[in-house]
Homo-oligomer: A and B are copies of this chain.
Amino acid sequence: MEIKFDLNESLFLKDPQDTALGRKIVENGIILIDSIGFEGFTFKKLAKEIGSTEKSIYRYFENKHYFLLFLTSWYWEWVRFLIEINIKNVDSPQKQLRIAIKYLVLATAENPMNKYINENLLHKLVIKEGGKAYHIYEVDDENKAGMFLSYKFLVQLVSNIINAINPKFPYSASLASNLFEMANNQIYFAEHIPKLTSLKPGKNMDEDLIAMLIYFAEGILIKKG
């Protein structure tokens, strides 16, 4: 099974989801960035990996920054897809928020779909390198061109759930974006700079993180007493 997302056309010169070579670039690009890091990653190395040429990859993406943006956008669309199908028949917005938090941490479907994109690896990649997609000099131009729409839609979705729980809460967008940023950050810290987090790497870390995010969100949103 394959999923195709309609991503903003500014992200690519030619949609890699449409061709065999394009999918090969994406599939192996994720693997390569994961193994050598985004700074060390070049189109030349990726071309060698897939038995193609630098030039052929440049026909899909203007440069490696756009490639990263494509990958992160695909990822945000994927998380949004997971959340949307899983809250569909749930009425309580409080339950919806718990489901959203679960999927933004796990970013995986129960029945893993057999696609060219390895979502677990892509999640790892977004945790490590995702921030670089928008911490760039050209951020304002790229924002105008709609390059961050996938992230915005996702934040909007969670923001709406938050508003449904507590319509008077004045910081729904900030809480929503912070849940995503915090989830990825805390996982990164747990794995690399453990002094900066209360999480402990291990089997139950994902569950602990989900519990922590729910504790935070509900502590802020729901009045006790």
Contact with B along A145-174 (1 / 0, CB 8 A): 000100110011000000000000011111
Of the candidates B40, B135, B136, B220, the one whose C-beta lies within 8 Å of that of A219 is B220
Q: With contacts A174-B198, A212-B171 known, is A193 near B139, CB below 8 A? A: yes
Residue A128, interface by CB 8 Å: yes
10 new A-B contacts, CB < 8 A, other than A39-B136, A155-B196, are A131-B135, A134-B193, A143-B192, A151-B193, A152-B196, A171-B198, A177-B189, A178-B182, A181-B181, A181-B182
Q: Chain B residues with Cβ under 8 A from A175's Cβ?
A: 198, 216
A193–B152 CA distance with the chains assembled, in angstroms: 9
**A185 in the interface (beta carbon within 8 A):** yes
**Chain B minimum-CB-distance residue to A140:** B192
Q: Which residues of B contact A134 (CB under 8 A)?
A: 192-193
Shortest Cβ distance from A20 into chain B, in angstroms? 30
Residue among A136, A156, A174 with max Cβ neighbours from chain B (10 Å): A174
> Is B152 within 8 A of A170, CB to CB?
no
Residue count of chain A within 8 Å CB distance of chain B:
49
Chain B nearest CB from A213 CB (Å) reads 10
* Docked complex Cα distance between A172 and B212 (Å): 11
Residues of B within 8 A of A195 (CB): 152, 155-156, 173
Max chain B C-beta neighbours (<10 A), residue from A132, A188, A198, A225: A198
Report A142 CB to chain B, min CB distance, Å: 9
Q: Which residues of B contact A219 (CB under 8 A)?
A: 219-220
Is residue A199 within 8 Å, beta carbon to beta carbon, of the partner chain? yes
Interface string of A124-144 (1 = CB under 8 A from B): 000011011011110110010
CB nearest to A225 among chain B residues: B225
Task: Tell me, yes or no, whether A215 is within 8 Å of chain B by CB.
Answer: yes
With a CB–CB cut-off of 8 A, which chain B residues contact A37? 136-137
18 CB contacts below 8 A, A to B, read A128-B135, A139-B193, A148-B193, A151-B193, A152-B193, A152-B195, A171-B212, A171-B215, A172-B198, A173-B196, A173-B198, A174-B197, A177-B189, A177-B197, A181-B182, A181-B185, A182-B182, A216-B216
